[in-house]
A and B are shown apart, each in its own frame.
Chain A
Amino acid sequence: MGIRLKIFTGFMILAIMLLIAGFISIHEFMNIGNYVQKLLDDNYRSIEASGTMVEALEREDSGILLLLMGNWEEGRKILKEGDDLFNKGFSSAENNLTIPGEHKYVERIKQDYNIYKKTWERPIVGTDKEGNFEWYYNKSHQMFLQIKESVKQLMEINQETMYKTGSDLKNRSQRAVMPGIVAIIAAVVFTLLFNYFINFYIAKPIVHLTRGIEEYNNTGEIFKFTSETSDEIGRLTNAIKEMLQSLTYK
């Protein structure tokens, strides 16, 4: 292989190392962006929806208490608002099923809520339920706790996935940064190695050759130095040697 090709290969290797490292880093950084978006789209929206549903359920529980105390108008108003808020949260969760098995949690919430809703949809004020706190604690409140637990489970599964995605993000960021660090270290080591080879196989023979010619001029003695390579330097050394030999014999 000729000197030009050797030097070109050296620089090409250096360029390839840096280019690939750059490409991988960019690719991983773009992935991080996608992951953040995924984190927001997939999990944060469901967690927010769960929070809305919990808030709605708590309002409805308060509404039932107001009805029990005979405050029909205020109670029905809060229950209506709570129901609207719950449906809004539920609809958001239902349209954002991104985790395997998440649909089962949503389905359970739907079933539990339908049962719960039946307890307060029927009249309370003016019936035997009014002021009946035993009915409230044993039935209505128990159902409230049950559905709240189902919503919390949905929230937890999303939080767990969000934590996992967050941990993945940490790994992704390392995967994005490390190629750059490795490329810098590799490039430094490679440059030193490249410099050593250039010095040993190109610069050093030229120095030896120059000294040999100078010595020939001074003493008329042909140098004994031989090149290890068969590239341009090797051929030049042999050519000069032959030339000096022919000059000597003339």
Chain B
Amino acid sequence: MNNNPDIHDHDHAETLLGDYVMGTTTPEDQAWMDQHIATCEQCQEELPDLLDALAALPFGAEEPPVALRDEVWNRIEATIAAQDAPGPANDGVNPGPVSAPPPEVEMRRSPQHHEQTLSNRWLIGVAAVLAVIILGAVLAQVLPGFGGDDDKAESIAFAFTDESISANGDLEYFPGEQKFEFSSTNMPDLDGGQVYQAWLIKGDEPPVPGGVMDPETGKLEISGDRAAYDTFAVTVEPGPAGSTAPTSDPVLTAPLNVEGTR
């Protein structure tokens, strides 16, 4: 919605700050604000107070006239038990007291819930993972081991957009977890608390943000179904948590619709 105002235009930022904090900005305004805040001391000073207020707002919700039913916990317990159902190779870490899931768990949910679920790409991914786990107990030990060495990883070719970067690294996709992992121990150092952040891109849609690189392990991750995206990318973003929309051009890209090993 903005007409490309100067990135240092604080008056313009003031008009967007409310929507920005509430998370109701357009992706374009969000990206503009991310960039502006990265360089604006006034906004950097004001934002923490506003975020504190935002964090407190959920507690302004009045006590509902009805209580949360115990049944809700029973459903959660059944669902997580289904995910961690002991398999033949279970290492015993997973506890036993959670009972097996009743088959009607999903049926208890309303059609509205299903509509919501089906419209959400991430939840579809989780449902797919759950289906695999329930059907194949062997995979039950994969999820607990974050980074799943037993998950058959697919290597993906990538390229740095700046030829001066000579870092080494690996980009892998774990189909069982629907997760991408990029690892490198010699990426160029970044200035002033900046971080490397992963993105998944499909066509002209706003890029989906992922995790930031852990400086100690040199790993960054992002969840997503490889088939649902065109490109994996890494950008440099304000730290420590990265951005909700990219504020810089990618330093690394990888097309996802081709097989390849770097």
Are A and B associated in one complex? no
B interface list, Cβ under 8 A from A: none
